Chains A and B, each alone.
Chain A
Amino acid sequence: MGSSLIYDAVHRLRGSPETVAVGLGAGLFIQGLDRLLQESPIAHMAARSFSAAPPTVSVQLISQVTFSRPALMGLEPTWQLWALWLLLLEYSVTIGCGGWLFARLRGVSLSPKGLVRYGLLTVPSWIVLPYTPGPVWTALSTTITICGFALLFVLPGLLIEGIPFSRAIPMSVTVTRRSWLSVVGATLVVLGGYQLAAMDTRSGPMLSAVVGVVHASLVAGFLAHTE
């Protein structure tokens, strides 16, 4: 089913080119915000690293630049507002674009409740690990990430349909266990794509947008297969 999932995802996108256009538009927007952030007078840091593509099962538009936390302390109120607004805009566009992609490709209408639930999926990306990972930890965390990502692979599609977390998580796990190998295959494609995008210093947001569109299409296709 693995190759048919990919084939189905591409076929689905050919039937909905607007999803590609919106995804690329959002990627371009994030790239523009990156540029604004880079040129801003507030100390920023490059976010291109393994942790730049955090293991969230939502669609990710990976920013290449971010403010360091100490750089936001002691700012003039105008600049504090400006920095927070910029970060908020980045998250809003990422969540809005992802939610819209899942809804469009699943053929359901996007409800505010579904979007909020979907937005909560991005929360893990805000959590920063408090220590530097060593090789053992990296191997362990990568395994856990892949397994966790695979088990929750279809979760965003279910949340967008309006299913609450309490039902969507067990459903996602059940659905995934039925086709474990193909989901792991799709997971590797998506996670690998995001990692590549995170390492692309020039057009990371655009590349991650392409991966995001394929990601949404894979989830939609997988759910369609299991229905």
Chain B
Amino acid sequence: MNWSPSRRGMLSLCGGVVGVVPLWSVYERYKPPTRYSTPPPGSWPVHGYDPAGTWHNPYATAPRTGVRLRWRVRDRALEPLSPVLVGEGTVYGIGVDIVGVDIVTGEPTLTHRSSDVSRGALVPSAVYRNESLILSSGAAIRALTLPDDPGSGTVRWNHTVNGTDTDGLVPPVTDGRDVVIDTGDELAVVEPTEGVVRWRRSGSGSRPSLAHGTVYTVDGEQLRGFDVETGDQTTAVQPSGLLPDSVVAIPDGFIVRDGGTTACLRADGSVCWRQSSTGHLPYASAPAVTDEAVYAVVPEADGRSIGAYSLSDGRERWRSALVPTGLSAFQAPAVANEAVYFPTADGGVGAVDAASGETLWQTAAPFDDRPISAIIAAGEGVYCSDGRSIYALGVG
């Protein structure tokens, strides 16, 4: 054999090298999105605002004085009730349909029809132009790449999962890099860009709280924590005398709710303080937590109120005169701009001062006499849904 490479052969070889080097250099520049504990300003990308589920948006300048309806968008398939999400200038309503509307004008930007009820979380991506919506329906998890122009988006990946939560009521939770999904049967952490399932465990059917690199869940008895990267169990505590149905991780412990009782737990599960009430809530409503206080719906013998407790010692600061609705499962009052926002028992929206509990404003009931979801506060407005429409309220 006498094979000497020709000039053409050498050129082909060089061409091959030139072809591969840019591929490698682009790939090497890839950095996955960083994990956040507080989402970017102007957004409310996940149910509960942040991965921990504090319902406290420190960036929002939501209205403290009288508000008016800025826009209303109708879509009849947004039931069952769920708070809206906000990301990159768009408000998303998620039910059977997934609807996106411009946050300023209320013009539609996304209409995605589905056959099952979903809950969602918005995640950024290092390789896609727009955010993605990760949707959990109880039977499946899927990623929707959001469109540049008004459209229906593209389902990027779709996985079936084992779930008893067929109504998809437990919302997915994200820290910007991973998405935690609890379908009732299954707790899973999914890489959102490619849909790779990092790990799966048995689920609890509660809204997970993601903080300090750990996924915390409660199953009505135990509070458990799993490493978000590996799925290894790192925490398992049984709070004394409590059967928690919702959890929010705080820097050195947890705030949990057990029906109408609100309690603070240390990292080892021991109780720092507990505030109980005489009444009963039909389902688990979550607390809102700031650096100083905890806000929660408090059932009373003759109704309900919003109660504020000092985070450090649990001392009750005030109870609101304005009466809230019971709030649906996993929902809580929203805290922003030193005010607490919630749907009122008479079918409107109300706000009370976060320091004193005094009523700041309340709307009449412009919501077709339908119950409304928990309020979310992003940018300069507050937003809610009644399952058939999305509402934007603002000043002026």
Contact = CB atoms under 8 A, between A and B. Distances in A.
B1 interface: yes
Given A43-B195, A71-B156, A74-B148, A18 B26 contact: no
B27 A39 contact: yes
Contacts of A73: 145, 154, 156
- Is chain A's binding surface mostly helix, strand, loop or mixed? helix
A75 B127 contact: yes
A125 interface: no
Contacts of B230: none
B332 to A, nearest CB: 33
Contacts of B20: 89
Contacts, number: 72
Contact of B126 (A18, A29, A41, A68): A41
A135 interface: no
B23 A42 contact: no
Contacts of A41: 30, 32, 126-127, 193-194
Among B127, B156, B157, residue most surrounded by chain A Cβ atoms (within 10 Å): B127
A18 B3 contact: yes
Given A36-B24, A40-B27, A76-B128, A70 B155 contact: yes
Contact of A42 (B12, B148, B194): B194
A82 B148 contact: no
A107 interface: no
A17 interface: yes
A86 B127 CA distance: 15
B19 interface: yes
Contacts of A36: 23-24, 27
Interface string B1-42: 101000000001000100110111011001010000000000
Indicate the member of A18, A42, A43, A93 with the most B CB atoms within 10 Å. A43
Contacts of B127: 41-42, 75-76, 79
Nearest to B31: A41
A185 interface: no
A43 B27 contact: no
Interface in B63-119: none
B194 A89 contact: no
A42 B132 CA distance: 13
B310 interface: no
A12 interface: no
Contacts of B52: none
Contacts of A43: 143, 156-157, 193-195
Contacts of A86: 23
B194 A44 contact: yes
Contact of B23 (A75, A82, A96): A82
B212 interface: no
Contacts of A165: none
Nearest to B157: A43
A85 interface: yes
A79 B126 CA distance: 9
A78 interface: yes
Contact of A68 (B130, B147, B157, B193): B157
Interface in B265-322: none
B129 interface: yes
Interface of B: 1, 3, 12, 16, 19-20, 22-24, 26-27, 30, 32, 126-130, 143, 145-148, 154-157, 193-195
Given A75-B128, A76-B129, 5 more contacts: A41-B30, A42-B127, A43-B156, A70-B155, A74-B148
20 contacts: A29-B16, A36-B27, A39-B27, A41-B30, A42-B127, A43-B143, A43-B157, A43-B194, A68-B156, A68-B157, A74-B129, A74-B130, A74-B146, A74-B147, A75-B129, A76-B128, A78-B26, A79-B26, A86-B23, A89-B23
